[in-house]
Amino acid sequence: MTELNLVLLGPPGSGKGTQGERLQEDLRLPYYATGDILRAAVRDETELGKTAKQYMDAGDLVPDEVIVGVIVEALESAEARDGFILDGFPRTTPQAEALDAKLADLGRAVNAVLLIDVSDDEVVRRLGGRRTCEQGGHVFHVDFNPPKVEGVCDIDGSPLVVRDDDKPEVIRKRLATYHEKTEPLVGYYDSRSVLRRIEGERKPEEVEAEIRRTLSTLRLQDEAV
């Protein structure tokens, strides 16, 4: 396998960011989150970045063709020559189709899509349990990283609050959007034989170990062809 082009898929709170950062360190591949790529293109004032900024400044959604263009621009860079890790893109089947078409033009393709599988109830438990301090933004969790004194930040003593994004009704709404818009990608990539399911309701270290085993198997299968 000359290059490893990965897409991380899963609901909010599934741990994609955590695993993406670990993969970046293990594989020494660039890790691209959609928002980061867009902000970098705007900051660097690339042509596509300028176009995206016009939509963002107007409060409009950036069209798929612009987002795909910005992302492919990053994937064409020297640092992504040996592969890449995409997180947060594609979000819809049309975006996936557009990405595949652009990569095909470059003689490349997505090798594997890692679906980190987590139930809705677990997502609500993970995100709904977060508590953020008002002053410094330090994050705690009622189950995984509780403060020494309930409702008080260990670091600066300011009150801990539930952010709007972490309220159960908002989380459920985000999950509904995921199921409607993004979950169809599971079937899309499964039909192309690149989908790999990862059991995400375990410790991060265990999820990481399964991802490593999955990628090792993928390499062996590729070498056997």
Say how many C-beta atoms besides its own lie within 10 A of residue 218's C-beta. Answer: 17
44 domain-assigned: no
pLDDT at 58 over 90: no
Query: Measured between alpha carbons, how far is residue 85 from residues 118, 155, 216 in Å?
Result: 20, 34, 16
- Please give the model's pTM, rounded to 2 decimal places: 0.87
Q: Which tokens hold the place of 198? A: 């990862």
186 domain-assigned: yes
Domain residue limits at 102: 4-30+77-119+182-224
43 a catalytic residue: no
Which tens digits make up the pLDDT trace of 142-173?
Answer: 999 999 999 999 999 999 999 998 999 999 99
Q: What is the mean pLDDT of residues 25-37?
A: 90
pLDDT at 219 over 90: no
From 39, 53, 91, 202, active-site residue: 91
Which of 42, 110, 113, 94 lies closest to 73 in space, CA to CA?
Answer: 42
Mean pLDDT across the chain, nearest whole number? 92
174 a catalytic residue: yes
Please tell me the distance from the alpha carbon of residue 175 to that of residue 158, in angstroms, as a whole number.
31
Beta bridge partners of 115: 9, 197
Which tens digits make up the pLDDT trace of 63-92?
Answer: 888 889 989 988 999 999 999 999 989 999
90 domain-assigned: yes
108 domain-assigned: yes
pLDDT of res. 114? 97
163 a catalytic residue: yes
158 domain-assigned: no
CATH number at residue 191: 3.40.50.300
| pLDDT tier, 5 (very low <50, low <70, confident <90, very high otherwise) | very high
16 a catalytic residue: yes
61 domain-assigned: no
Taking the CA atoms of residue 192, residue 180, residue 71 and residue 207 in that order, the dihedral angle to the nearest 10 degrees is -70
Please tell me the distance from the alpha carbon of residue 59 to that of residue 79, in angstroms, as a whole number.
32
169 domain-assigned: no
pLDDT of res. 112? 95
The number of domains in the chain is 1
From 16, 108, 125, 126, active-site residue: 16
Share of the chain above pLDDT 70, in %: 99
pLDDT of res. 39? 87
Please tell me the distance from the alpha carbon of residue 83 to that of residue 78, in angstroms, as a whole number.
10
From 174, 197, 202, 212, active-site residue: 174
196 a catalytic residue: no
pLDDT of res. 1? 65
pLDDT of res. 208? 96
Which tens digits make up the pLDDT trace of 93-127?
Answer: 999 999 999 999 999 999 999 999 999 999 999 99
pLDDT of res. 225? 65
157 domain-assigned: no
From 125, 130, 131, 196, active-site residue: 130
Spatial CB neighbours of 215, under 8 Å, sequence gap ≥ 6:
4, 27, 112
